[in-house]
Amino acid sequence: MAFLLALLALLATGTLSWAEAKPPNILFILADDLGFNDVSFHGSPQIPTPNIDEIARTGITLNSYYAQPVCSPTRATIMSGRHVSHTGIYMPLMMGTAARLNISYSTLPQFLEKLGYDTHMVGKWHLGQNELAAMPTGRGFASFFGYLSGEEDYITHQAAGAFDLFDGTRTAFEFNGTHSTGLWVSKVLNLLSKPSEKPFFIYLAFQNVHWPLEPTEEALRRFEGKTGGDAQRQGVCGLASMLDDAVGQVIRKLKDQRLYDDTLIVFASDNGGPTNGFQGTWSSNYPMRGGKNTLWEGGTRVAAAIRGPGIPQELVGSVSYHKVHAADWLPTLVRVAANDPKWLERNWPQGEPVFELGDGMDVWDTFSKGVAVREEVLLEAHQQDETRIAHGNSLIVGDWKILKLSPSQQEEFGWVPPPGQNPREVEYQLPCRLADQPRSVDYTECSEEFCLFNVASDPCEYRNVAKEHPKIVARLAERLAEYQKTAVPAVNSKDCGCAPVMVKGAWRPCDLPDPGAAWALRNLVV
């Protein structure tokens, strides 16, 4: 009795965290191409997202959370804890090639598996499909239901001319004709219905709101007359609304199973949304500048929130401007799962390269204590002789951001409000005075010389102050050079083994090409 009273006293005073009582379940929800302005917890009324908002309202809104400007790079960073400058995945991996995340790198699910977690993945992978070892079931997930490519049809599940939907290593032809949003939710609800003594890690990587724009007719009708007649924006709104509905179903299931209070939930987008018809779609990052495929804040500063055990009551409902990067999830979640900030260091795989400058940091103190851990965020860095590839070079140190864009980034990526929304009627969280937005911009100004922005006072990057602060530019450029020294070349598919093959109208790994063989070997492989 005395022990119980002492334990209750420790919990009441906060000196013993929930994580010290038992490891939490972890649900990581990743949206695809969701704009910063496409969730209502950021102030936009155009797309109501009450279920996603609940994660922010009952947790912490991460208003300085950074990801990479495109898909595969962010996903590789989340899974490996390594920055893209060290994975070499600077751009999306192309379907039909052997390119993949280095299979010698340990992944987040592999570490959590060692800590006794059941690990499951549902949705989009996009980190390699050429061999079994590159698929999710070869990277630490006990189960996988989803697709391996970067973009595919939501209903036919066709990608680059062939079917791409897997249940484990088996091609799941039977789901041709079923919308992916419902498929992912059904799988997660099924997983949550199965009792287990072990904590779970579920990585739920939605297809929404990536092109092609294929919401259901019912979801599309919700936004009739609300997008200024723009069909692309209406399609994005419909897919975002379906995403929110799906998140709501998962949250309700967690509550029904009495798992909600024991589950740490992370919600984030993989990159900023594509705007202004780019890639045939129209997400919104307004009032920030730019979008997907750019190093502007609109391409890299993305919607994110976290809630669950270990977050103190005084931080619930707060908005954090402390820096967090996608690479931080691996060391942070492993620390929480192990309840030991040194576990990863002590259990690092022998012979595997350790994290380098720019890789993931344990930022749990940002979530549990509200203190800053990160001072710097590397967005992208290349060796000096490779500055013309990918997106360019950019680094944030404190309040300051420098960037030099590659030639491909010289096209117009300005400030694009979503069709059907008057920006002056919206109360945005970010401290941007819309009246300060430039009427015209030289879009080549950051391609020859470094631009400099104060992203604390000017997160919308209205004013390049490089000429006013040459010493700050020089200091940050010198620091960026340190990151550039460790940057690796882009992944070469020729170094990754055999390419995936197309068999019976479906994509297959080259070392298990027959869908029938996959069915027979399923219990041995998964």
For residue 9, pLDDT beyond 70: no
The partner residues of 325 in beta bridges, in order of sequence, read 66
- pLDDT at position 385: 59
Task: State how far the Cα of 110 lies from the Cα of 104, in Å rounded to an integer.
Answer: 12
- pLDDT at position 343: 98
Task: State how far the Cα of 289 lies from the Cα of 464, in Å rounded to an integer.
Answer: 12
Query: pLDDT confidence of 276, banded at 50, 70, 90?
Result: confident
| b/e burial code for range 177-199 (CB count within 10 A of at least 16 → b) | ebbbbbbbbbbbbebbeeeeeeb
Question: Which residue is associated with the tokens 């890639």?
Answer: 279
- pLDDT at position 389: 62
For residue 15, pLDDT beyond 50: no
Interval 217-249: pLDDT, tens: 999 999 999 998 899 999 999 999 999 999 999
Phi, psi at residue 100, to the nearest 5°? -160, 165
- pLDDT at position 445: 82
21, 268 Cβ separation under 8 angstroms: no
Task: State how far the Cα of 388 lies from the Cα of 117, in Å rounded to an integer.
Answer: 43
Alpha helices in 288-383 (DSSP H): 297-300, 329-338, 343-346, 364-368
* Nearest by Cα to 390 from 496, 275, 300, 506: 300
Domain boundaries, the chain: 20-374
What lies within 8 Å, CB to CB, of 406 at 6+ separation is 387, 388, 389, 390, 391, 392, 447
Interval 69-122: pLDDT, tens: 999 999 999 999 999 999 999 999 988 898 999 999 999 999 999 999 999 999
- pLDDT at position 384: 67
* Nearest by Cα to 458 from 241, 295, 239, 296: 296
Pick the catalytic residue: 42, 120, 126, 179? 126
Side-chain-side CA neighbours of residue 146 (13 Å): 29
DSSP 359-387: S----HHHHHT-----SEEEEE---GGGT
Interval 470-504: pLDDT, tens: 999 999 999 999 999 999 999 888 888 899 999 98
The partner residues of 171 in beta bridges, in order of sequence, read 166
Task: State how far the Cα of 58 lies from the Cα of 123, in Å rounded to an integer.
Answer: 25
Q: Which CATH number fits domain 20-374: 3.30.530.20, 3.40.720.10, 3.40.50.2300, 3.90.1150.10?
A: 3.40.720.10
Task: State how far the Cα of 138 lies from the Cα of 247, in Å rounded to an integer.
Answer: 27
What Cα–Cα distance (Å) separates residue 317 from each residue in 56, 81, 430?
6, 27, 16
For residue 522, pLDDT beyond 70: no
250, 189 Cβ separation under 8 angstroms: yes
| Three-state DSSP state, 453 | strand
**Would you call 126 a catalytic residue per the annotation?**
yes
230, 257 Cβ separation under 8 angstroms: no
- pLDDT at position 290: 92
- What percent of the chain stands above pLDDT 70? 92
- What percent of the chain stands above pLDDT 90? 77
Q: Which residue has the higher pLDDT, 340 or 513?
A: 340
Residue 103, exposed/middle/buried by CB under 10 A (0-12, 13-18, 19+)? middle
What lies within 8 Å, CB to CB, of 313 at 6+ separation is none
Task: State how far the Cα of 79 lies from the Cα of 87, in Å rounded to an integer.
Answer: 11
Interval 297-330: pLDDT, tens: 999 999 999 999 999 999 999 999 999 999 999 9
For residue 206, pLDDT beyond 90: yes
Phi, psi at residue 146, to the nearest 5°? 170, -155
Token pair for 497 = 């083994």
pTM of the predicted model as reported, rounded to 2 decimal places = 0.94
Q: What is the mean pLDDT of the chain?
A: 91
Question: Which residue is associated with the tokens 């209070």?
Answer: 261
Token pair for 331 = 């060391």
Interval 435-444: pLDDT, tens: 888 878 777 7
Interval 340-377: pLDDT, tens: 999 999 999 999 999 999 999 999 999 999 999 999 99
Token pair for 137 = 């079931």
Task: State how far the Cα of 263 lies from the Cα of 383, in Å rounded to an integer.
Answer: 41
Pick the catalytic residue: 42, 71, 86, 322? 71
For residue 23, pLDDT beyond 80: yes
- pLDDT at position 182: 98
* Nearest by Cα to 135 from 522, 508, 520: 508
